Structures are given as structure tokens and as C-alpha cells.
Amino acid sequence: MRAIETIKNIWKIEDLRNRIITTLVLVGIYRFGTYVVLPGIDPKSLTALHEQTRGGLLALLDMFAGGAFSNASIFALGIMPYISASIVMQLLAIAIPSFQKLQREGESGRRKINQWTRYLTVAILLLQGPTYLVNLNVQLRAVGAAMPSGLWFTLSSTIILAAGSMFVLWLGERITDKGIGNGISFIILVGIIARLPHSLFQEFISRTSEKTGGLVMFLFEMLVLLLVIAGAILLVQGTRKVPVQYAKRIVGNKQYGGARQYIPLKVNAANVMPIIFAQAIMFIPISIVGFSNTGNTSNFWAAFMDNTGFWYNFVFAVLIILFTYFYTAITINPTQMADDLKRNNGFIPGVKPGKATKDYLDAIMDRITLPGAFFLALVAIMPAFARIAGVSMEFSQFFGGTSLLILVGVVLDTLQQVESHLLMRHYDGLLKSGRIKGRSGSVAAY
């Protein structure tokens, strides 16, 4: 069989074999740490915290943390603070000229930005740590348990949580350097996949043991899930190729240029960032109600707290479309692309260099971003449709949203890297139909 032959080829390549083994060891360390509970916390009293993280934004955070959030683990804050810091630094690099200058300095500038990103991550962790402990105390009291009191416990637990999150970041970097690559994204992928077997088994038991459609309904769910995954793959890989012709130059006896190349413009250049931004905004009503002292919730706020309701998903989809255009506009610069083409004696056939090229690229980006934004919004609200159709809350999260796009994107990137190792050693690729396309050219790994 071709699959067995491919596995044998992978195992023959010593460098690739060592990288895969290293990745598995580091992932094993990470998974072990997600079950190490904070000192002073009784694991048996975390039932309320488990219930709290079954739905909403906290379920997403717990999924990205591989279940460490609901386990009150030393890795409870996970990798999300680093991602938040990275997003802030990306926005600062667009808005502040000094950061733009650092980006243009090459490797030295990148090292400085990474160092500041880590400092910002530590600052976020020191703020999120006490917040997490306050929420944990509330959930423990709900089941009649108590958390150790005193300043020393809060201080030591905050330091442990911050150190745990930075250790997860270190593991991700080691996976990038010594493992299969895409370390940060791979850590998130492991957290998402860790929940899949239990959620799938629970959904199967629910369908077959209750009068909710039986095995036929379960198989129909699997078919729909496969169709959604196929759509997510198209969304991740979709590009529009713009032909570029380079003028011929003769220097001495040699000819340069004259070849036709292509600019691959991504249909979803913003990746999952619009969903992350939109979810952060949609979490505001829940935060306002949570911090208010009143027990009654008005109909207005209640509509935005129901993630299966019409108004929640309508506003959520609109925000995703708007943020898709916004993030694409600040990350894709047609003016710079047009200037680079002109500087290198390149031009788009039938389009004048300079402003006309910039306008042409702008128009193409507008056309391909619109269907990409609508499809991204549809993928994001698919879990709500799954919930309405009777799919369990935990399993419905795999029908769309950030988790599905990250899962698809990271799997494609990993397979692409494995395939590049095979082709470099003159082995066959993973597919007969052609090479695997990952998220090359995407602005963010997550």
C-alpha cells in the first residue's frame, strides 16, 4: 500500500525521524503538564469549573489550552496570552513608524520585536493570573469547596501560572527548532485534538442510546462535518494568481528577466484573526452581565448572550466580514507590491506600472475578499447551526469556528513540511495528484 510505503520512507530519513520523535516527546511533556493541578487545589472540587468551560468563549480557551484551563493546571493560561501579545505587536508594527522601521531591519529587528512580545506576554500573564484565581475561587465555592486564602497563595499561584505559560511557549519554540515545525500552532492543534475523541464518543453514545436519530443521524453528522472540513481546506488554500511579466535586460552576454511569474493573492489573507477579534467583542456583553450585581438580564443583553440565537450570530457574522476587510487592508499593501514590481522591471500584462497596477491589485483583493469573508463568517457560525440541529455542545465546536480553521491549517502545514523532506531526498510525495498546499503566505500561523 502507498500509505505504508510513505511511512517507511519517512522513517528512512534520519533527520525527519528525529524531528518527529522530538515533537512527540515535547507534546507528551505538554500533555502531562495539563493534568498537574495548582498546589493547594483539590482536583475533585473542579466540577463547577468543568461545567463553566463547556460552552462559550471559555470553552474555546479551554480547548486551546488542551483542557488545562478546566483542570486548574499549571498550564491553565496556555498559549493564548502570547497570541494576544503577538496580535498587539502586529497592530503596533502597522500603526507606529518606529515598529515599521524595526521590521525592515531584518533579523535584528525581528529579534527585538520577539523580545518585546515576550515582555508583553509576561505582563498579560501577571494580569490574567489573579483573574483566573478569582474565577476559580467562585467556581470552588459553588460546590462547597474553598481555595487557600492569603496573599502568598495568590502571588505564588500567579507566578506558577505565568511560568507554566512561558514553559509552554518554550516547548512550542523547541518544536519549531528541533521538531516538525510550527511549534506554537502545533501546541494549539494538540489542545484541539485532545478533546476530539471524548466529544466524538459522547456524541455517538448520545445518538445511539437516546431517541435522537440513532446511528443514521450520527453518520449524517459525520458527512456534514467532512463537507465543512473540505470547505475549510478550500478557504485556507484558495488563491487568485495574478500574472506578472518581467522585462528583458541584457547585461554583457547574459539576458535577465523576460519570464512570466504569478502573484498568489489569498482568498482568506486574514486567516482566523477576524474570528478572534469578533469573538473578543461578542464576549463584552457576557462580561458586563457577569460583573453586574443584578440578577435580572434585559432582553437586549440576553439576545447577545445566546450563542445559538439569531442576533448573536448575525452580529458575529457582520463583525467577521468587517474585520476580514480591515485585517486584509492592513496586512496586504498593493502600493508596496506595485512599487516592488516597478523597481524590478515587472508589470502586469495590459496594466500600466505604478498607480494603475496598485488600483488593479486593490480591485482584485476586493473581489476575492468578499466571498472569502462571507465563507469565513459561515464557517464561524456553523457550530450554532450544529447546536440547533441537536449536536452536543462539545462536539459542535468542531463544526466550524477558530478551532476548525486552525486544525485544518496546521495539519496542512505539517503535511507540507513532511512532504518537503521526502521530495528533498527524492522520495514520492504524500499525494499522487500533486503537492500539498499549506498556508504559505499567510500572515499568522494561528
Distances (CA, A) of 338 to 192, 246, 248: 40, 13, 18
pLDDT band at 243; cut points 50, 70, 90:
confident
Distance, CA of 154 to CA of 128 (rounded, Å) = 12
Q: How confident is the model at residue 442 (pLDDT cuts 50, 70, 90)?
A: very low
Residue 293: pLDDT above 70? no
**Digit-coded pLDDT (tens) for 366-386:** 888 888 889 888 888 888 888
- Same domain for 350 and 296: yes
Number of structural domains (the chain) is 2
- Quote the pLDDT of residue 171: 92
- 62 in a structural domain: yes
Q: How far apart are CA 116 and CA 119, in angstroms?
A: 5
Check whether residue 11 and residue 125 sit in a common domain.
yes
Q: What is the mean pLDDT of residues 132-136?
A: 87
Structure confidence by residue, pLDDT tens digits, 73-123: 999 888 888 888 887 887 787 777 887 787 777 778 888 888 999 999 999
| CA angle in degrees (0–180, nearest 5) for 277-280-283 | 150
Are 338 and 375 in contact by the 8 Å Cβ rule? The answer is no
The model's confidence at residue 443, banded by pLDDT at 50, 70 and 90, is: very low
Looking at residues 221-245, what average pLDDT do you find? Answer: 84
Global pTM value: 0.79
Residue 195 lies in a domain: no
Q: Cα-flanking dihedrals φ and ψ of residue 51, to 5°?
A: -65, -40
Torsion region of 354: left, alpha or beta (phi above 0 gives left; psi -120 to 50 gives alpha): left
Same-domain status, 283 and 428? yes
Same-domain status, 281 and 415: yes
Give the CATH number for residue 413.
1.10.3370.10
Q: Is the domain of 120 the same as that of 240?
A: no
Crossing angle of helices 401-424/273-282, nearest 10°?
160
Asked if residue 79 belongs to a domain, the reply is yes
Instruction: Give the model's confidence band at 26: pLDDT under 50 very low, under 70 low, under 90 confident, else very high.
Output: very high
> What confidence category does residue 56 fall into, taking pLDDT thresholds of 50, 70 and 90?
low
Q: Taking the alpha carbons of 114, 118, 121, 123 in that order, is the dihedral positive or negative?
A: negative
pLDDT tens sequence across 255-272: 555 567 778 888 888 787
Same domain assignment for residues 232 and 379: yes
Whether residues 221 and 112 share a domain: the answer is no
Mean pLDDT (the chain, rounded): 80
* Domain stop point among 179, 203, 225: 179
pLDDT tens for 337-370 read 888 888 877 788 888 888 888 888 888 888 888 8
Query: Cα–Cα distance between 444 and 446 in angstroms, integer?
Result: 5
Q: Identify the domain containing residue 150 by its residue range.
A: 1-179
CB atoms near residue 167 (< 10 Å): 15
Position 193 in a domain: no
Residue 197: inside a domain, yes or no?
no
* One domain for residues 424 and 310: yes
Pure H helices in 77-213? 80-95, 97-103, 107-142, 151-178, 183-209
- Split at pLDDT 50, 70, 90, the class of 53 is confident
